[in-house]
Amino acid sequence: MLNVIVWAIVACLCTSAFGGTMNVQEYYTWGIDGDDLNIPEGSIITEAVLTIQGITNWDNNLHIHIVDNPPLDFVANVDNGSGDFFQDFDGLLSGYSYQLVDGDLVITFIQINDENSWVWDIFDYPFNFQLADSSVVSYSSSLLELIDYAGNSTPFGIGFDSDTTDYAFDRMTLELTIESYEGQAEQSFLRLTTYGLAEPDPIVVTSPNGGESYLAGSRITATWTPGEPLDSDVKIELYKGNAAVYTIASGTPNDGRKGRILPDTLTAGSDYRIKITSLADESVYDFSDDYFQIVSQQATPDPIVVTSPNGGEVYNLGDTLIARWIPNGDISSNVKIELYKGNTAVYTIASGTANDGRKGRILPDTLTAGSDYRIKITSLADESVYDFSDGYFELTGR
């Protein structure tokens, strides 16, 4: 008898998912695989609480059964014309023992007891069990029924049907209290939560998601909100228009992030998207919300970016002006640095200097004072690659 009880503890370590609706005169079961169970020796479940979260239309007419050998996971069953799919299961939990707490239906097994239950043919009534801390648990028939079915090394679980009402709900949890009955007194709690089978949690692409620009041959990092199941890999594909043109990852963990160097042979275009697909269920996928751009290396070289002076600075004529920039583009080539007043080049700071990001020069005192100065830095390898200061700076007399 003790072995049967210990089996029940293990049973509830496994959980299955469902959500959505339970319709009138349809039969639903949540099956848990008894072969996958495990629990430390010398411990026992002393309570089980089933919570149907976010249930709607509650009117006390949902029938809940403890069932033996149901199909695994949450499924809708066909009654094959019998008129009562659960007629062979005696473990009907009384609806009057349910509690509605803040919109959640709570079924506490140890509070549901039937003195005429078949379970008392196996256990004495009332059945009391002493724990390691010398306290005594008085088991109910419903908790012992769960124990008995769990000890058969076959699937066990819970069934649902309604005569009059369709019920909608968000998710289900199974909460367990586990206590030791030998050795040191210990107590632990398990709260198993899962979401519904009605619609798998979606994958949601977060980047690139529209408007980005990438250079062919550069790195692209795909990010997404992982959908269910989390332990499944995903496939990531690059689409141009409606056609897949490149596989970023044929199978990668569903952890929300994957980087890859794009081939430099990709065709330039502004109609690219990525598609991320669950390999466990290829109906679960998502595309970028909008198109992003890929440009060829030849079409658009990396720009030079002026960082200083970049607007708002004040220099005295005769002072040293230090030009700074991000040396992108062909860093092996020299750059030209010019001083502009308005839209006119008025002085050459350097006709050719290393593209290393820094160059200083004393400003001639013959320049005209003004607040409309900028610098322009141009690649000598490709004069289409250049940058101006973002805003004007000022030159003043001494």
Give 240-267 as a DSSP string. Answer: ETTEEEEEEEEEEESSSEEEEEPPTTSP
List, in sequence order, the alpha helices (H) in the chain.
2-11, 141-150
Residue 274: predicted pLDDT: 96
Instruction: Give average pLDDT by consecutive 10-residue segment, the chain, 398 residues.
Output: 36 43 82 67 84 86 84 72 62 74 89 84 88 90 82 79 86 79 77 54 87 89 81 90 93 92 90 91 85 76 84 91 82 87 94 91 92 93 87 88
* Cα 87 to Cα 66: distance, rounded to the nearest angstrom: 12
CA atoms within 13 A on the CB side of 91: 22
Peptide bond into 327 cis (omega under 30): no
Residue 260: predicted pLDDT: 92
* Cα 189 to Cα 228: distance, rounded to the nearest angstrom: 25
Residues 6+ apart with CB under 8 A from 28: 18, 22, 74, 75, 76, 77, 159, 160, 161
The strand pairing partners of 162, in sequence order, are 62
Residue 90: predicted pLDDT: 55
Indicate the CATH number of 305-396 among 3.40.640.10, 2.160.10.10, 3.40.50.300, 2.60.40.1930. Answer: 2.60.40.1930
* Cα 150 to Cα 67: distance, rounded to the nearest angstrom: 10
Amino acid code (one letter) for 100: L
Residue 77: predicted pLDDT: 73
Give 107-172 as a DSSP string. Answer: EEGGG---TT-GGGGTS-SSEEEE-TTS-EEEE-HHHHHHHHHHTTSS-EEEEEEESS--EEESEE
CATH architecture of 204-295: Sandwich (2.60)
Distances from the Cα of 10 to the Cαs of 35, 36, 44, 146, 176, in angstroms? 10, 9, 8, 11, 10
| Kind and range of the H or E run holding 207 | strand 204-207
**CATH 2.60.40.1930 location in the chain:** 305-396
Phi, psi of 144 (to 5 degrees): -70, -35
At 109, list the tokens.
Answer: 């097994």
Nearest to 184 by CA among 43, 13, 39, 5: 43
Angle at 251 between CA 287 and CA 268, to 5 degrees: 50
* Cα 314 to Cα 349: distance, rounded to the nearest angstrom: 17
The strand pairing partners of 172, in sequence order, are 52, 194
Phi, psi of 145 (to 5 degrees): -65, -45
Nearest to 174 by CA among 1, 20, 9: 9
pTM: 0.47
* Cα 163 to Cα 75: distance, rounded to the nearest angstrom: 18
Residue 63: predicted pLDDT: 86
Residue carrying the six token digits 């499924």: 75
pLDDT in tens, 115-148: 888 888 888 888 999 988 899 999 988 888 887 7
**CATH 2.60.40.2950 location in the chain:** 204-295
* Cα 119 to Cα 141: distance, rounded to the nearest angstrom: 6
Residue 8: predicted pLDDT: 35
